[in-house]
Structures are given as C-alpha cells and as structure tokens.
Structure 1
Amino acid sequence: MSKVDADTQSKWDEQLDYKKLPDWKDCASILNKRCQYLEARDSKQIRSEQCVKTFNKNSSTKPTIVNPHRPQTSLAANQRSCILCRDLNHSITNCKKFLELSVMDRFWKTKKLGLCLNCLVKGHSVSRCPSSYKCKTCEQAHHSLLHRTQPADTNSGIDTPSDTSGQSTSAATHSAMEKEQVPEAQVILATALLLIKDSSEGFQLGRVLLDSGSQVNFINEKFANSLGLRKHRKNVDIVGIGVTETKIKYQTQSTIRSRYSNFEISLEFLVAPSITGYQPEASLNVSSWNLPSNLELADENFNQPSQIDLLLGAEAFFDLLESGQIKLGEGLPSLQQTALGWIVSGRYKSKYNTTKKASCVANTLEVGLDKYFEKFFEFEEIQGLRSIWSEEQNECEKHFIDTIKMLPSGRLMVQLPFKKHPSCLGGSYDIAFRRFLSLERRLSKNASIKSQYSDFLKEYERLGHMSLVPNPNLDEDHYYLLHQYVLRPDSVSTKLRVVFDASCCTSSQISLNGILMVGPTIQDELLIILLRFRLYRYALTADIVKMYRQFLVNPSDRKLQFILWRENEPTPIQTYQLNTLSSVFG
C-alpha cells in the first residue's frame, strides 16, 4: 500500500482494524473498488472532453455521430487528416498505404503510432475509448481492420470498411487480402508433457521443449520454485544466436518420468528466468491434418499457445527417440514416436500469416515496468512450509526420536542419521594430512591468526568438546574432517571461528555428508519470523552460546569426526575426535 497514491492510502487507513493483521484479500478488495471508481471517473472526463471537441460553438448545425469503423464521406470525416501519410483528404481508415498492410502489420503500425486499437484515434488507450462501437466480426474491443481471421474460417476474409452507401471495398483492399492468404512456411517445435519430481518426492506435470541443439537442460525459475527444488550456485555463461550471452546463477537436479512408459531419468537443469516465449505463438487449426486418433500424443494441446517449463537438450533428446515416424502429408509436419509419446514437429505451410517471430535457443530477459510490478506481487506471496515431508525427511525424524538420549548431567546425546553404511567411506587421512600442512603454512604467516586458532581449539579440548586419540584404528570405519578458520572482525564475541568440512570426498569419492540423511526444516520461514516483529511493541532476541556443541555425539560415531592438529610445528601431528556436533560446512 505504500506504493499507491495518498487518497488510496487514506481509504485503506480508514477501514483498517488495528486489532488484527490485515491480509491480502482486504487489500485487493480496496484496490479493486478504487480502480473501478477511478476508471469510471476518467471515462466520464474523456467523454466530456470528446463532446467539447466535437461541438463547434460557431456552428448552428447538430453534431454528427461518427462510427469509427466505417469510412466517412461527410465533412467531419474529411477534416480528420491521415496520421500515417499526412493527407488531409482522408483518415487512416481510408488510407491506401494502411489498407495494403497485412493485419499484423496494421496492428504493429497502430501501436507504433500510439493510436487506440478500437477507434484508431490518437490520445487515449483502448481501455478508455469513448466509442461504443466494437469489431463487426467478433464484437471485441478492436477495430474491424485489426481483426485477425481464424484459420478455420477459410471462406471469409478480413472485414474491411465499406462506405455509407453499402458499396464494395476498394481494389487495394482486395489485393491486401489476397497477399495475406499466400501460403507461408511455418515450423512447429517439438513439445511434450512429462512428470517431474518435486521436493516432496511427488511428481507434477510440466511442459517441455525438446531441443537436440542444446548442450544443457533448462528449467523455468518460477516452475522450479513451485516444485520446491533445492538450487545450488552455478555461474555459467550461455551463448546463443549471434554470440549473445546469458548469465545463469543457479543449478538444480530432478527426475523426469514419462506419462506412458517406464522411461525415467535423473537430470541436472540450469535455472533460467525464462526459456522461450509461448509455443506456438498463435493457435493452429489442425482439423484438416487427419491426426491418427489411436496415437498417444506427447502434448495433446501442441497447437495451443502455452508456457514452456523445461527444455531438454541433447543429453536426453536421443534417449527419448524411438523407431516410429508418420508423415502427415505434403506441407504438413511429421509425427515422431518418443518415450514421452508421439511428438508433432516440422515444417508446414500456413495459408494465414499469423506470426512474425521465430524461436531459437537464446535466453533473453526484457525488464520493463510491468515486469517489476510482476516481481513485486510475486514477492508479496508468502508460501508456507510444505506439510508433506519426503521419505528421507520422515526417516531422519524417526531416527532422531528413536536414538536421542538424555544423560544424567542433563545434556542430550544423538546419533548420526546414516542413509548408507559408513563402510562405503574410503581413506581420508592422506587428503586431511596434505590440507593440514597447507593450513599450517598459512597460519605461520600471521602470528595473530595462528594464536587465535590455537586458543579456539584449546578451548574445544578444555571444555571436553574434543579429545585426543592416541592410537586411532584406521582399519575400522573412520573419517577425517578438514578444518579451516572464518574471520569476523566485527563480531563482539568470537572474531575467529573454526569450521569443519564434511563434504570432502574420500578415496571412494564419497563424503560423510553424502551418507547422512537431511532432515526437514522445523523452524518457521525467516519472513514469517520478521513479520512477528510487526505485531508487538517490544521484541526480545537471545543467542545460545555454542548451541550445536551442547549436543554430544554417540561415542560409536565419534570415529567419523577425526581431525588432525598440532599447536607447534616441531611436535608430531596428532589425531583428535570431536565429541559434540560441530560447525560443519559443505
């Protein structure tokens, strides 16, 4: 509401109930009423201005009602000059240059000249057009000269204006109609509907574009968010036609499945703000194509414009292809059998030129004022936590409940939630040894940081959070954590903190993090927490000192939390084990 005008804000403030938090329904209701009032007021004002311009104060004759959809032969029509060719003897509706254009060219020329799409007059938009006349063909709010004939209506041409005596249209108009009906080659891109796994291990329907010319797979950012897929940082430059570059910041992974067969594959997708426009751009009339009724089409509505959610590149394209192929006929596309069903793709000749655009593998993002408003309203939507947990999350929760113990001292002890047995871990000592020597060389260059690092681990040992292992048994399952420091000079309490890396792969290319289950998120979303601070006058915050280190790890799992450490270089490198949950990253 801070984005609207002062009068609307005042109306909003007047109806507020300060005993409860307002919701979006209340806001939308106020905005709708306000918009209806403003549109009605502006419409009356425009009609008043039009009447003032129409009436001639010096003339005693009555004003003539003008139909903007018919060329006028009266004096009032002749006084309106053509905005296209600047001729004073006719309006744009009778302009030969305008009538010779195709319907789409007329539409874009009208937009370029800033004319109303309904009455072809400059100075207002179609939503504020004072004219009560509509298109004579479809009764929609656009001029008859801008009506796009549907492909199914092959016997009727474009409705062009006729004069007041009912005479036929000019020869130039007939020429324009014949020119527009010249067959033109179009290309249908292969689309399909498939099932894709979301974050709750369920499958949702998505529309995919198949492209053998792409080296990577893409997923629409909005679609990825609706699936709840976890995104990872991935800086990639995508090069398209004309060496245009698009920056991709995130990558995700999911599994796709066919609706008709057992085909299933796990793929990585680059998260793109947009993949391409609607496919196809306009509706296609396929009634004369004689599509076999017994085939399972991959996309039943391939001829209707719809959004593309995913793009599958060459990685999966050729795995989808099967042996069947059907040619529909001369000047028509082909049917190709795939694991997702029969796809429709190829070149066909259209009698009606319905598009001026061509689609290719190129990612472009046009940011305008409407896009910013769209992003604003998307930001205002608050999505709650998913009520359905995945199988792994449920298993992790059950493991926690079954294994957590309270010791006589009052502290809690937990076990690590394994999804694979630790025996699959390979050797980790060698890489931990090399990384520790590298860390030691860096610490030797800064005495202050080395002193803080040593003090941190001394405190770790003094508090019993780690202990020395004199003779570690490397023949049994074990894992060495790497460690390094993180500096926070502006911190009031701890300026240097040691963090431990459990994502480093062993000789078997498996890490400790890779065999641990990931539990569900149990706290509220950050946005919800922040909103609570708006409900009360006072708010309290608190911090639990060394929170994770208050939980002990079961002694049987501590051998998977070995680290290497020595305070001074002449002394031997020793093995320590972490006894508590550690600050693990990775």
Structure 2
Amino acid sequence: MAPRPRTAQSLESRRSRGTQSYRCRVCRGIHPLRKCKRFRKLSAEKRLRAVLINKYCSNCLAHQHPEGPCRSQDGCKKCGGNHHTLLHMHEEPSPPHPSRNPRQSARSHPRCSAGSVSRSSSPNRVAIERPRPEVSATATSVATLVRQKTVHILPTVIVVVDMGSSMFETAAMIDPCMAVSSIDRSLAAAFRLPFTSLGDDEVYSATLRSRTGNFKLEVVLKLDPSLKIRTPIRALSDATRAKFGNIRLADEQFHRPATISLVLGANVFAKLIQPGFLKLEDGLPVAQSTVFGWTVSGAVLEH
C-alpha cells in the first residue's frame, strides 16, 4: 500500500487528538493568536486593538468559544485582572520619594492641578487640597468679581471617526492629565464602536482622522459612563473669537458652549501636539498647534 501524503497524516492525527487550528486573523498564519510573532511584537495597546477588531476572547485569546463564555481562570499574571497577560497595560505606581514633599510635588505640575479643579469627579484626576489663607470681605468680593468676568476654555478639536463604511465628526478634548483616553457610553453606542471587557473596565477601539490632513490615529478608549464636560461655561464675544481668525483652528466654534464626551489623554498626547505656541496678549487664551489644527485654551477676561 502506498504511503499516505504527509498532509493527510497530519490532518488525521490532528483530528485524532481532538484539536483544531485556526487561521490567525493578524498575520493569516495557522497558529493560535498567543503564538503569533507579529502580534507579540505590538505594543499592549495595539494588541488590545487587534483583539477588539478581530473579535478574539480578551481573557484567553481564543478564536471562539463554541460552548459559551470563557471558562479560563488564569487571568493576567502581572495584575491578576480578568484579561490575558499580553493585554496588560497598567503600570504599577512608583513609591513616593522619601525626600520629596507630596504637596511640593503636586505644585510642580500646575497644568494637572488646574484640570483636577475643573473636573475633579473624573476617576483619573485627584483633587489637590491647598490651605486657604484668611482673606478680608473686600478681597473676597474682588475675587468673586474677577471670577464672574473670567471664562475658562479647554482645548477642543473636531475629529473624524472613521467607521470604514461611514464617517462622523465629533468634538474631543485633549487632556494630558487623563492617563487613558476615554469616551462616554452614549457616544460609543451612537458610533457602534467595537468593545471588550478587561476586568471591571470596558474598552473601545476607534480610528480617528483629521478633517484637513492625512493624519490617522488608532486609539483605545476606556469607557467613562458619565463623561460630559462643558466648555466654555458661557459664550465668548465675537471680538475674542476674531483674535484667532488668522490661524487654522481645530475647533472653529471653541468660543461657543458645547458638551464634550470624548477625551484624548496622555497615552496619545505626544502624537497630537506639534511645535507652535501662540500668545497674543494678556487676558486672552493661548493657542497650541496640533495635528487637527490650533487649539485655544486658558482664561479669558472679558470686560
């Protein structure tokens, strides 16, 4: 009897062991995702995006579970979370330096402390308590008057959410004090973004584009169920808006109140900021160049 071809023997032995190989959706090879060399070379964030897009199990990286939900009890070997170790993205916080005063350390980051004051309810921000010196009634009334005339603007951009067959425009805020980019549940549902669960967190995958250039950003977004940021609190005058008429703005309506439900955080901040900083005069916000255009942010004192 002629010997069987090796491929037939291999297939028969594979079936006899009760195993089955699937085509890898990342490199198109025949192997499990966890053994894919291309997949393992990616950053943790890009691995997570690959799992989301290709609909792998985030807990065990299985191709599918024909008998129901995942039954693996292994978890992440780095943090014990309900996700595969290859998807671990959270770094352990470093212990405080013994010779450094925590209050002095907080003061060395004024931008972050300002962000925590305006939106201290966010889980990624820590409100900084400072001792308040006693002030006279006259000083208090003057401070109240200044606050009434001062309007704070947060840096917003208009981005294009690329869904493949369709595209949508939405406003987003750039905030380097937020560790991970986040999105509100209602906005994620409206765009029907692919998502998965990592322990207690839901994470979404999105492709963002610039309206005017070729910039493209693939980003993982953490779900923040109530992410609704209002900026500015009240409309600015047309005269203030006209001061920035000579630059290409990332959000032409930055001076009109709007609710922001998408925040681009520290994990993508370096990819968004470009050289270019514009300070026109005291009492006006500043402008910063980004891949989406110029953002406008800061305090505005309108008389």
Which TM-score applies when normalising by structure 2? 0.49
More strand by share: 2
Give the number of the structure with larger relative contact order, counting CA–CA contacts within 8 Å between residues 6 or more apart.
2
- Pick the structure with greater CA Rg: 1
Which TM-score applies when normalising by structure 1? 0.26
